[in-house]
Structure 1
Amino acid sequence: MRKRIAAALAAGVLGGALVLAGCSLNGNDQASPSGGSHQGHGNDKSGNQTGSSDDGMEHPMDGGPAPAGIKDATSPKYPVGTEVKLTADHMDGMDGAKATIVGAYNTYTYSVNYTPTTGGDPVTDHKWVVQQEIKDAGDKRLADGTEVTLEAEHMEGMKGAKATVASSTNETVYMADYESDGMKMTNHKWVTESEIQPAS
């Protein structure tokens, strides 16, 4: 009888340990030091690797080329090839990351609120979308509150989404390569000049 009780207790403890191990090994739901959850890197529906933005949306690891029509900055503070430190927090692990500038442009850059075409919760204060990623935006700076249609493809459900301009800037805007948690983001769009510091 004692052996049966001991065996049952051992099985219960082992089963509990396996359940706990299963939770901690799930890369998309790791416990954070604050007790919340950490959104890890995953894959999109096409199998491409993705990272997580501050709004919980999946972001491709390679942002692709700059949009057609965007103009290179003539004398940017951080020329292409410059090693810098990022201070933006658009993505998990971005703030404080070392990066390399791969593009510098003169354009208007917008923070937007939008609802993904794939459904789900509205996204607020998405940083950033440039003038050339907004349908029929023209050449003039769009006023806050302007309703637009996005052509950017930074995340699934973004292209074709109806959006509202939340704020804008005419700072030089950059594409950058950087590493976070062992994953390399290439051609990340976008980081403004005020979100960059010289590499220390």
Structure 2
Amino acid sequence: MLSKKLLTGILSLLFILLLSACNAGNDAPQEHMDSENMPNDQIDQDDGHMGMNHSGSGEVPDGLQEAENPAFEVGSQVNVEADHMSGMNSAEATIVGAYDTTVYAISYTPTDGGSPVRNHKWVIHEELENPGSEPLEAGDEVIVSADHMAGMDGATVAIDSVEETTVYIIDFMPLDDGDQVTNHKWMTEDELSAE
């Protein structure tokens, strides 16, 4: 009699544990698309930014010049019109820094063995190893010394696009209830608008 009660108790406990395990983490449906099945222009944004250091120290590379007449002054409030990461597009942001430089979109294979990243926006001229004084051109290859994402620092990158512009460092609160992002690098003028 005692063994039947014990067996019934154990089976009941296992059943409850099984139901709990089946329900864990299924509060919302999740979609996953690996980078091989994702359009080229979406790999960086959706998959490649998973390892991105969205917040930064605020330190800037040596030789980077502060913008003399930026469209958005340091301390001003702006709206973000880019989706480098989840919750960024349409967020309100504060300008932390404004710098005149050449900015690049790049493609590369991370040094840590991660999936290839295509059209990552952005790295600046001063974050490249020995780039020379003149802007590089689309198609050029160079080593990057920035660590915006895991496996980026030291990677050989291909330049996808080049633009001479003012770049900004911003602070913002993501709209997807993520944590406050501070000193996010980099945004271009056309990715921001006045409030």
- TM-score bracket, shorter-length normalisation: 0.7 to 0.9
Please give the alpha-carbon distance, in whole angstroms, between the structure 2 residues aligned to 1:31 and 1:168. Answer: 40
Partner of 2:187: 191
Deviation at 1:37, TM superposition (A): 4.8
Please give the alpha-carbon distance, in whole angstroms, between the structure 2 residues aligned to 1:128 and 1:88. Answer: 12
Three-state SS of the structure 2 residue aligned to 1:135 is coil
Which amino acid is the alignment partner of residue 105 of structure 2? S
Q: Work out which of the residue numbers 140, 143, 154 in structure 1 matches 2:137.
A: 143
Deviation at 1:138, TM superposition (A): 1.8
Please give the alpha-carbon distance, in whole angstroms, between the structure 2 residues aligned to 1:31 and 1:133. Answer: 39
Whose RCO is larger (CA < 8 A, sep 6+)?
2
Please give the alpha-carbon distance, in whole angstroms, between the structure 1 residues aligned to 2:172 and 2:45. Answer: 14
Partner of 2:121: 127
Q: Which has the larger radius of gyration?
A: 2
Is 2:77 the counterpart of 1:83?
yes
State, as a whole percentage, how many aligned pairs show the same letter. 39
Structure 1 runs of 4+ aligned residues shifted over 6 Å read: 6-13
In the TM superposition, what whole-angstrom CA distance separates every residue of 1:26-59 from its partner, at most 9, and x where no partner exists? Answer: xxxx845xx5159xxxxxxxxxxxxx96324322
Aligned pair in 2 of structure 1 residues 107, 23: CA closer, same or farther (>3 Å)?
same
Whichever structure has more helix as a proportion of its residues is 2
Which amino acid is the alignment partner of residue 186 of structure 1? T
Partner of 2:38: none
Please give the alpha-carbon distance, in whole angstroms, between the structure 1 residues aligned to 2:166 and 2:81. Answer: 15
Any stretches of 5+ residues in structure 2 without a counterpart? 1-7, 34-43
Three-state SS of the structure 1 residue aligned to 2:25 is helix
Q: Work out which of the residue numbers 157, 161, 177 in structure 2 matches 1:163.
A: 157
Whichever structure has more strand as a proportion of its residues is 1
Please give the alpha-carbon distance, in whole angstroms, between the structure 1 residues aligned to 2:131 and 2:28. Answer: 42
Which amino acid is the alignment partner of residue 58 of structure 1? G
Three-state SS of the structure 2 residue aligned to 1:78 is coil
Aligned pair in 2 of structure 1 residues 87, 10: CA closer, same or farther (>3 Å)?
farther
Deviation at 1:98, TM superposition (A): 1.0
Please give the alpha-carbon distance, in whole angstroms, between the structure 2 residues aligned to 1:122 and 1:90. Answer: 16
In the TM superposition, what whole-angstrom CA distance separates every residue of 1:72-94 from its partner, at most 9, and x where no partner exists? Answer: 11010101001111111111111
Please give the alpha-carbon distance, in whole angstroms, between the structure 1 residues aligned to 2:81 and 2:15. Answer: 45
Aligned pair in 2 of structure 1 residues 10, 56: CA closer, same or farther (>3 Å)?
farther
Which amino acid is the alignment partner of residue 62 of structure 1? S
In the TM superposition, what whole-angstrom CA distance separates every residue of 1:90-147 from its partner, at most 9, and x where no partner exists? Answer: 1111111111000001000000001111112111000000000001112211110000
Three-state SS of the structure 2 residue aligned to 1:170 is strand
Please give the alpha-carbon distance, in whole angstroms, between the structure 1 residues aligned to 2:88 and 2:79. Answer: 9
- Matched positions, count: 177
Aligned pair in 2 of structure 1 residues 31, 53: CA closer, same or farther (>3 Å)?
farther
